[in-house]
Every structure is written in structure tokens, then in C-alpha cells.
Amino acid sequence: MEEENKIGSQIKKLGFWKWAVASIIFRLVLSYFSENLNLSTRPEVSTPLTSLRRLAEGYWLKQLSMSPYSGSMYHGSPLLLSVLGPLTVKNIIVEYQLFGYSLVSVIADFISAVLIRATGRSLVAAHGHNLKSLGLDKLFKDIVEILPSGDIAGLVYLWNPFTIVSSIGFNTSPIENLFVIVSLYGASAGLIPLAAFGWVMASHLFLYPLVLFIPVIFLLGYGLDGPPRKLFVQSILRGEERPADHVELNSLTNKPIKTTFSWRRVILFFLWTSIWISYVLVLCAIFMREYGGLGEMFKRTYGFVLSVEDLSPNIGVLWYFFAEVFDFFRNFFLIVFHVNILFMILPLAIRLNHRPCFLVFVYLAISSMLKSYPSVGDSALYLSLLVLFLNELAEMQFSFFLFCGYVGVSLLSPVMHNIWIWRGTGNANFYFATAMAYACFQIILVVESVSAMLNYDRKIKKLCNIPKV
């Protein structure tokens, strides 16, 4: 039996790496046809914040000793200009440029998939230990995974069409996703400096990952996802015996299941966050010392995101709304849309504080719905994180309906854009209808996934025979 288990685990490992390498080769092949595909001009793929063409113009202005924020093209971090700007220089062969940045995107996607896989394995280990500590391991012995959920999530991220078009579409979405995943992995593995670095960089480059501060704190304070902590507390009070070898939280940290908050790790996270923020601000100040300083940078980056200045079409709903709204009400509705994200943070944090990794998925999905300039790269990230909870969300409703909805929107959006912009036989309502449908499907996904997770927690509570408090 032991030999068969070892062979099975080796097959699973080889299966993941085989498909991961195949995805890399597939991306590199597509990168040679990237000019013909012309994905960099698609509003679903590139946005005013993530477009590599805009970054190239910002770098060109910097090379001319002008502010990279001159005009209205570039609105990203100055750090990206230093790192990715040389890949856009026009004095080298075009094919080399395209391949160079495609290689960066491919590497970023591969690292992201590996970190998602590692996070998923930690979640599976924690899930098993939690069930054993509650005496439910025998009740869940029928749950058999062909592949661990972490492996599936990593492969879903690599083979998701949204991820692939973002990788070869010459935009910075793979970089954003990488830093978000680095923060999640660092927090789940107890690597506090890494978690702080990932969160600071993701928030600095793209603003909206700021909301992930709360789930990262929960991960560091309480540990990985599990049933409500009061089940463990009441189990102890009832004097239930637990096997001594079943009290580990996960195989990475080797720490017991936590029912109290670890302030020490949180304080260390604050300390490392302060260090990384100071370091980033110093680098940006050095870069911007001749172009208006940090104030100009904040105005052209965060200010651009919050004011929704660019109303070019995208798969979000804000561009059409603010193109139609009267200027007198513009500031009011700006506050409404942005505060709407903040209103959802606290209730979800209170209800799902025992499942911080799942809370990361929920926050990312909500941000993708309501952010100023969304892209399919945002969906690629939160859909992959959703797969980490295959077992918990097995009874989720409307799964097939949502799958068909995402596929339908993906196919209709380019068609409606072509009818409106190029053929002139339609109008903006054609394209905006697909954006509205996309937002509705995301809302249904969030509602149904949260409901399924809460139902799963209720199921565990009933099996523990513990009355509601």
C-alpha cells in the first residue's frame, strides 16, 4: 500500500509539472504570433493602467528628460519604468522586444502557479488536520482527490484563457497577479517579510490590493482556513480527546490549531510593511525628484484611478456610467462607487474571518467588479483561487450556468466591440450590455460561493453536534 501511495503521489507530481511545462511552451509559441493576434489593443486585455504601449511612451518621455506623466498616457508606477522600460526600446529588433517581455510574463505566470500550488497544498493539509481534530476524519474519508486542489488551481491559472491572453497581450497584469499571490503565499506559509513585500508592491503598483490587508492579517493571526474556531473551543470545553498526532495546523508551520489571535506575528508584519513602504517611497522619490516629487506621482497614479479620468471602453461598468452622468453629480457617484467596495469589507471580514484565503478570493472578485479599469487578468486570478476550495464548494449551485456565462461574455465582447467601433452597425449599448452581463455573472459567483462556504461550515457544525450559540 505504501509503495502504491508513493507511486500515485509521484504520478500526480509529474502530471502537474508536465502540464505546467506544456503551458509555458504554448505561451512561447503564441508569443511569435502576438502581432497578428493584436491582443494588446483589446480593451478586455489592456487598460490605461496595464498597457505596455503606455508604459513604452512613459519610458520614452523619461529618456527625453521629461516627466513620464507628461500628457495623459502613462499612469503606472515609476518603478515599472525602470524594470520593464528597457524592454520597450525601439533600437533593438522588434521580435526580440516582443519575446523579451513575453518571457517576463511567462515567468511571472509560472511562479504564480507554483505559489498557488504550494498554498493549495497547505490548505489541504490544514483541512485534513482540522477535520481530524474535530473527529470528522472518518465521515470525510470518501472525499478522494484525483489531483490535490492546489495542483488543479495552479493548472487552472496556467491554462485559463484569460491568463493566456493577458500573458501574450503585452500588459502588466501578470506582474500584479504575481505580487498578490506572493503576499498570499507568504502569509499562508508564515513568511512575514515575504507577505509584507508582496502586499506593499501589489498595493503600490495597482492600488486595489490594499483591501487584502485584512485577510493577510487574519492569515498571520489565526492561521489557514478552517471551520469556525468556536467549534474547537467548545470541543475542548466538552473534554473531547484528540489524538496527539492530529493537532498540527499545516505541514509548513508545524503549529497547533489556533483559537487565539497571534499579535506577535501581526506586529512583525506591521514592522516589515513599514520597512518595505519606506524603501519603495525612497526609490520613487529618487526617481521623481526632477519631475514633481511624490505628490505628482500620487496624483498621476492613485488620483487617476480614483477620479476615473479615462473613459475609454473596457469590460467594467464605470466608463459608460461616467460618460453619461452629469458633471454636477460626478463627484458624488465617484464616492458612491469607491466607498461601495469599503462597505463590503467589514461585514465579510466579520463573517469569514476563519477563512482568510477564501476572503482573499471574495475581495479580489468584488474589486474586479467595481474597479475603475478592470481586465480579464483580474478574473484569471480570482477564478484560480476559487479552485483552491473545490471540496468546500462542491455543492455550489449554478456552476454550469456561470461557466457558460463567462464563456458567452468572452465570445460576445469582441464581437460587440467590432460591431460598434469598426463596422459602425451598432452603438455603445451593444458593448456595454456585455459588460453588464459580465458584472452580473461575477455578482452571482460571489454570492453563490459565499453561500456554499457558509453551508459547508454549517454542515461541519451539525456533524459536531454542537448547538448554535
- Please, are residues 125 and 222 in contact by the beta-carbon 8 Å criterion? no
248 in helix, strand or coil? strand
* pLDDT of amino acid 140: 57
Q: Is 241 a residue whose pLDDT tops 60?
A: no
Residues 180-205, mean pLDDT to the nearest whole number: 92
Task: Decide if 284 is inside a domain.
Answer: yes
Summarize pLDDT for 327-372 with one digit per residue, the tens: 888 888 888 888 888 888 889 999 888 889 999 999 999 999 888 8
Please provide the distance, in angstroms rounded to a whole number, between the alpha carbons at the two ends of the chain.
44
The verdict on residue 469 lying in a domain is no
Task: Reduce the DSSP state of residue 315 to 3 states and report it.
Answer: coil
Give the pLDDT score at 18: 87
What are the Cα distances from residue 52, in Å, to 8, 72, 110, 378?
A: 43, 14, 20, 17
Structural domains counted in the chain? 1
pLDDT digits (tens, 9 = 90+) for 137-153: 665 555 545 457 888 89
256: β partners: 248
pLDDT of residue 121 exceeding 50, the answer is: yes
**Residue from 117, 273, 282 nearest 198 by CA:** 273
Report the run of H or E that residue 3 belongs to, with start and end: helix 2-31
Distance CA 339, CA 145 (A): 41
pLDDT for position 210: 92
> Looking at residue 1, what is its pLDDT?
42
Domain region containing 93: 2-463
For 61-105, give the DSSP string.
HHHTTS-TTSTTS--S-HHHHHHHGGGG-TTS-HHHHHHHHHHHH
pLDDT of residue 90: 56
Average the pLDDT over each of 8-22, 37-51, 227-241, 415-429 and give the range with the smallest value: 227-241
| pLDDT band for position 246 (cuts 50, 70, 90) | very low
The predicted model scores a pTM of: 0.87
CB neighbours of 29 closer than 8 A, spacing ≥ 6? none
292: alpha, beta or left? (left if phi > 0; alpha if psi -120 to 50): left
Q: How far is CA 416 from the centre of its chain?
A: 27
In a domain, 185, yes or no: yes
- Range of weakest confidence among 31-40, 78-87, 369-378: 31-40
Whether residue 331 is contained in a domain is answered as: yes
- The answer to whether residues 78 and 288 touch, using CB atoms and an 8 Å cutoff, is yes
Mean pLDDT of 88-111: 68
Q: Is the pLDDT of residue 443 over 90?
A: yes
**Per-residue pLDDT, 236:** 52
pLDDT tens per residue, range 371-404: 889 999 899 999 999 999 888 888 888 889 999 9
Higher pLDDT, 331 or 239: 331
Please state, rounded to an integer, the average pLDDT across all residues of the chain: 81
Q: For residue 171, which phi and psi values (nearest 5 degrees)?
A: -145, 170
User: In this structure, is residue 468 part of a structural domain?
Assistant: no
Our measurement of the distance from residue 181's CA atom to the centroid of its chain's CA atoms, rounded to an integer in Å, reads: 7
- Residue 144, pLDDT score: 47
